[in-house]
Chain A
């Protein structure tokens, strides 16, 4: 009953806002709509499509042709009631996240039961209780439903709503250990490219939990195959390849430097043209490869955590980040609710989130409308926002390692009769 009320409330808030006069204001915010996910651009593409003009002829559309076709169908079927699709998709996402968190907690329980013998004697109260297992999935769902970032993302009618849906589907399939996970992953990769990093948790999941390299390889190959098929279909629609430039090319080379909450625009706006490619490479390597390998090695035993940390890092560092990505990641964190007590900077990080979330639109207003502040103010705030997110994810990862250590070696307080402290080095 209470779950129903929660879902109903979540739907109500979204429906109310999406039909209110604020919808336009929210959809126009650069924090929510980026060139990559704005529904306005999709509408533009659809209009060109209707006129029989090649939709990438303008410079505004950055969805893949297949997605555009899918949106076309959606618009045709639902017409006036399109906003309901967004609300329903968001509700579905929250439910999928709930399911995946539930499955994940079951896995943790199994691992805990299995390894109980190896744990240190005084680590008993570090073990998770039934209450923890039961509550975490509900928290995941509630956080997704009532997180301001995801609410605004849905109300802004961004295509990230669908991206989140497929990512959630992927996470669920991953936790259920189904090879089917490859398909939603291929779809999100074709939409926003960066989820390609999630191949690593996909691979590791089958290696670790199924102990089968064949299955793992198959999953990756399957995903790449699906992706290729999608790309080929995209090509077949117009028999032209230049959509690649407008989708993947647009994501990777970052030609649109409209301010957003990311870290790219501020640097590239002032960059000398001949240094541009060098820094594009270094920035993109930072998002894609830099964290992938160390994290994959360290957290290979827990693909879900790996997936979350990769999602979180891409949400911070990607070229066109939006609040929808961040809201999605934030709602995954309650899976590690039991680690929250280890977190060192929890209060600091939440203060940072609060202040930057409110200060960001403030300085944006002062910059754009009053003309008194400038880009540096806004970038300063988004930088603080990004820092807070980095603090949060490092804190969670560190707490995770700390807990693992304590489980095995007990909670050592003294080392050589001195007070010991775990350090991250």
Chain B
């Protein structure tokens, strides 16, 4: 180690500054990251939306849609038909209507093999779609208009007006000569499952686990799908259009499509909202910021879950830009409805899309919306998460340099000092790279096994007669408790050097995965960062027993499993303040069980990554830090050396 003592090696001013100030600096970095993000909602700091793609402008011309009468007629007929079919789409009627209008009409069958539990449960579904062939081009490109059909027994608000307006629009569109892209009119069943199966069948791919969703086959196809508009109209009289964009794994459609939808709503005089919040301009900057920030946070929370908030969200992964128009009626009146304006909105949107020469590539794919006419681009928001992750890098750096300095001090010590030191700690022990690699491999293998375990756990659980929810939750709880024991197996607990290296590597892993995560899904990255980074900055193996216990407790709570249970329970307690505490806890736990099952099912059917990220990255990383916390290395000697030298 002789060479380590070189004075000019890594002992510059910056190094010294990092060694002494890194705890404060990293807290500062974290706070500045959060502040940066909060300020983004302030209007002067973000940008107004604008059309980037000029090809989309033709929709602004005069609308010709006049089929509101037939829409009304379709709606009344559909209401009658729906009464005959409690649980499914009124296929004959819709097929007949599509054929009458003159579309190529097809049906599509799909089957879901429920992936959990022992019994092989199957669910069947059937979609209907009609294709309007473009008169001005071969079927090379197409657009989709889809409606998720909800039978009367469904608890969600009806979408029948959407079906009616779709049929009326199809009738209108079929008479026009200007279409250069096929238009596919799609009515799906079983909410997101139907659209997922249809898309998988369209592209002949399997997105989730093999054998879970049998997507069936399509007999008719259009060309490459350029864009899709999903309709969820709950009333024949639509006063307010909510535009939903958040898709699977937090993917968003091109901002131009969102702009297009907002402009067309404005043009037809129907007020539009984003996250059910209309745009407001307050004079008072604080109030203005507060309102925009709340909208922004609603978007962040929706996006972070990675669960699409409408059927549009499943198109995104296929490179199809899609959004949902959700129409509400604010007044409880019985006026005849405004199918005319709604139809004209659809007409304008589709005429604009029809004019696209290239697929969407202008404008932004990574953005946040504090209101429907302002946006925050990736260049503006990514620094915030970089600062937050930077805090972890800085801490890792500081720890590394400290270790380095410790080694230097050690090698500069006289032989006698060293012998004294030898009594208190094993300073001569080398860094055990193999053990550290071993710990890393081991924890990550556990993560991968955990990711693939649900099938096994539920099979075992069902043999003992437990249902899927309980066996999964119980299984995870048992695994969690077992994993808490891992530090017992660690042999390098007493070696200060090795434990520091482990700590540094775990910090680097956390920071790197935070950055990558926020590239995929910024909102998730931000939330995970905001929650975990302060705790990670706090964690520091120390000899003070009380402080060490507090740290362990804090980190225990920070385990995704515990956090989820706690959050859901607290949420339940706040939502049902009248119930007794015990009742609420039970309710919270059962809600957590359902959340876990939903996450896993989403992972298996739609390949929503949330579960994968948690089991493969967060849990292994959590275990690494858990091991670090159990470090019993004595650092006193190290500190005295430092004092002596300074």
- A residues apposed to B, CB below 8 Å: 124-127, 129, 338, 341-344, 346-347, 351, 354-355, 358-359, 362-363, 366, 369-374, 402, 406, 411, 413, 421-422
Contacts and interface: CB of A to CB of B under 8 A. Distances in A.
A359 B515 contact: yes
Given A354-B512, A406-B6, A362 B519 contact: yes
Given A347-B397, A372-B366, A354 B520 contact: no
A344 B12 contact: yes
Interface in B1-49: 2-10, 12
Interface string B312-335: 000011010000000000000000
A340 to B, nearest CB: 9
Contacts of B12: 344
B516 interface: yes
Interface residues of B, number: 30
A115 B467 CA distance: 78
User: By CB atoms of chain B within 10 A, which of A346, A370, A371 has the most?
Assistant: A371
A366 B3 contact: no
A402 B8 contact: yes
Contact of B516 (A358, A411, A422): A358
Nearest to A421: B8
User: By CB atoms of chain A within 10 A, which of B3, B6, B8, B401 has the most?
Assistant: B3
Given A344-B10, A370-B317, 15 more contacts: A124-B2, A125-B3, A347-B400, A354-B508, A359-B515, A359-B519, A362-B520, A363-B519, A366-B520, A370-B316, A372-B251, A372-B316, A373-B365, A411-B6, A422-B8
A126 B8 contact: no
A374 B366 CA distance: 11
Contacts of B401: 347
A343 B10 contact: yes
B375 interface: no
B317 A341 contact: no
B473 interface: no
Contact of A125 (B5, B9, B520): B5
A347 B5 CA distance: 18
Nearest to A342: B9
A372 B363 CA distance: 11
Interface string B278-314: 0000000000000000000000000000000000000
A145 B99 CA distance: 65
Contacts of A359: 512, 515-516, 519
Contacts of A402: 8
Interface in B378-398: 393, 396-397
Contacts of A355: 512, 515
Given A338-B3, A372-B365, A372-B366, A362 B516 contact: yes
Given A344-B10, A351-B393, A358-B516, A371 B319 contact: yes
Contacts of A125: 2-3, 5
B283 to A, nearest CB: 37
Interface of B: 2-10, 12, 251-252, 316-317, 319, 361, 365-366, 393, 396-397, 400-401, 508, 512-513, 515-516, 519-520
A341 B519 contact: no
A266 B171 CA distance: 48
Contact of A126 (B6, B7, B512): B6
A36 B366 CA distance: 35
A400 to B, nearest CB: 13
A366 B401 CA distance: 35
B508 A351 contact: yes
A336 to B, nearest CB: 12
The 7 A-B pairs of least Cβ separation, nearest first, read A125-B2, A372-B365, A371-B319, A362-B516, A342-B9, A341-B3, A341-B4
Nearest to A339: B3
User: By CB atoms of chain B within 10 A, which of A124, A125, A347, A373 has the most?
Assistant: A347
A370 B401 CA distance: 40
B6 A341 contact: yes
Nearest to B253: A372
User: By CB atoms of chain A within 10 A, which of B8, B393, B397 has the most?
Assistant: B8
B259 to A, nearest CB: 17
A347 to B, nearest CB: 5
Nearest to B249: A370
Contacts of A366: 519-520
A126 B361 CA distance: 58
Nearest to B437: A146
B516 A126 contact: no
Contact of B9 (A127, A341, A369, A373): A341
B216 to A, nearest CB: 24
Contacts of A358: 512-513, 516
A329 B115 CA distance: 47
A125 B7 CA distance: 13
Contacts of A342: 3, 6, 8-10
Given A355-B515, A359-B519, A362-B516, A411 B508 contact: no
User: By CB atoms of chain B within 10 A, which of A338, A354, A369, A372 has the most?
Assistant: A372
13 contacts: A125-B3, A126-B2, A129-B2, A342-B10, A344-B10, A354-B508, A358-B516, A359-B516, A362-B519, A370-B316, A371-B365, A406-B6, A421-B8
Contacts of B3: 125-126, 338, 341-342
A83 B7 CA distance: 50
Contacts of B2: 124-127, 129
A374 B316 CA distance: 15
Nearest to B366: A372
A344 B397 CA distance: 13
A373 to B, nearest CB: 7
Contacts of B10: 341-344, 346
A347 B7 CA distance: 18
A359 B511 CA distance: 12
A411 B316 contact: no
